[in-house]
């Protein structure tokens, strides 16, 4: 029964987050060289580019999705890329997953677009749970 409840929280894939050093430069690269469309940007911290239904969330220094982990680890390009799952009731899902023994990297971070938290799969790969601002 818990598995069915947990699945009801996850609503879909929101996008893939890439850590970048310069958001404007990254937007130019994806839009000019790869045909992505700029959906939203809040320079210098963040931009969302899309290609069809696929979204890449470009997080620069200062973005809520780029903040250091509680243990001091820095998110850097190339090492913190992750799938971002859009969820409903982020605190409720976190409680269920913690109860199931899932390892979290951080606590909830809140930014203008919503709030997010990172967990790890059994091999240590990062997954982000994201709840959009209402």
Of the pLDDT bands very low, low, confident and very high (cuts 50, 70, 90), residue 7 is confident
Reduce the DSSP state of residue 13 to 3 states and report it: strand
pLDDT for the residue numbered 76: 85
Distance of CA 12 to CAs 23, 50, 54, 59, 129, Å?
A: 25, 16, 12, 20, 10
pTM for the full predicted model: 0.74
- Answer whether residue 35 shows pLDDT above 60: yes
Taking each helix axis from N to C terminus, what angle separates 90-99 and 2-9, rounded to the nearest 10 degrees? 150
User: What CATH architecture applies to the domain 2-132?
Assistant: Roll (3.10)
Supply the mean pLDDT for the chain.
Answer: 91
Task: Name the token pair of 17.
Answer: 């987050």
Please name which of 43, 62, 48, 53 lies closest in space to residue 18, comparing C-alpha atoms: 48
Please name which of 55, 19, 21, 22 lies closest in space to residue 40, comparing C-alpha atoms: 55
């Amino acid at each position: 029964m818990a598995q069915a409840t947990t699945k009801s929280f996850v609503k879909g894939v929101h996008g893939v987050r890439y850590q970048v050093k310069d958001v404007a430069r990254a937007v130019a690269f994806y839009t000019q060289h790869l045909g992505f469309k700029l959906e939203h940007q809040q320079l210098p911290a963040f931009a969302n580019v899309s290609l069809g239904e696929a979204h890449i969330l470009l997080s620069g220094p200062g973005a809520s999705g780029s903040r250091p982990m509680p243990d001091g680890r820095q998110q850097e390009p190339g090492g913190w890329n992750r799938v971002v799952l859009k969820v409903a009731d982020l605190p409720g899902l976190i409680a269920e997953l913690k109860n199931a023994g899932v390892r979290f990297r951080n606590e909830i971070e809140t930014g203008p677009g919503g709030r997010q938290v990172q967990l790890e799969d059994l091999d240590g790969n990062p997954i982000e749970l994201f709840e959009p601002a209402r």
